[in-house]
Structure 1
Amino acid sequence: MGEQKQKEANKAVFIFGKKNYKFMFIGLAFIALGFILMSGGGTDDPNVFNEEIFSWRRIRLAPMLVLLGFGIEIYAILLNPVKK
């Protein structure tokens, strides 16, 4: 009987539940997508200015996705996992 209690005490307990980790991975995907959309727009010649750096995708969409991803991460951390 003492062995049973010891096995239960040594069982790994995660801080977050499955739902928390799902939201964390979704948030990470949003953050990664935002940074991917922000990249590029440069030029090989430093004397040539490229207007593509000021596109709607880089100025508006990508930062909104990154901020949304961080918001999802905060939600995932604060979400109470379902305890049985």
Structure 2
Amino acid sequence: MAKKEKEIKSAGFALGKENYKLMAIGFAIIVIGFILMAGGGSDDPNVFNPDIFSFRRLTIAPVILLIGFVFEIYAIMKKPKEDK
């Protein structure tokens, strides 16, 4: 009977407060990666802009995105601390 009461008491959010904070940090990292990837376009379609092939857009931004997605997986999989 006591086990059933404990299960009912703990029926709340699936993740802990720390998990949601880590997920917010991961989301911010992903947004930064997409911001770094943006831009480089040209107003005139007949003019080529070599900025679309910059090191920032082809290397740094995808690496930051990958780090953000891995961080999100960690934030979801991390076991929340139990309150005593």
State the TM-score, normalizing by the size of structure 2.
0.84
Aligned pair count reads 77
CA RMSD of aligned residues (A): 1.6
Equivalent residues in 2 for 1:1-84 (5 A)? Answer: 9=8, 13-84=12-83
Structure 2 gaps of 5+ residues are none
Percent of residue pairs bearing the same amino acid type: 56
Residues 22-74 of structure 1: CA deviation (Å, up to 9, x unaligned): 11001100100001111100001111110100111100111111111100000
SS of alignment partner, residue 13 of structure 2: coil
Structure 1 gaps of 5+ residues are none
The runs of at least 4 consecutive aligned structure 1 residues that moved more than 6 Å come to none
Q: Structure 2: how far apart are the matches of 1:11 and 1:74?
A: 23
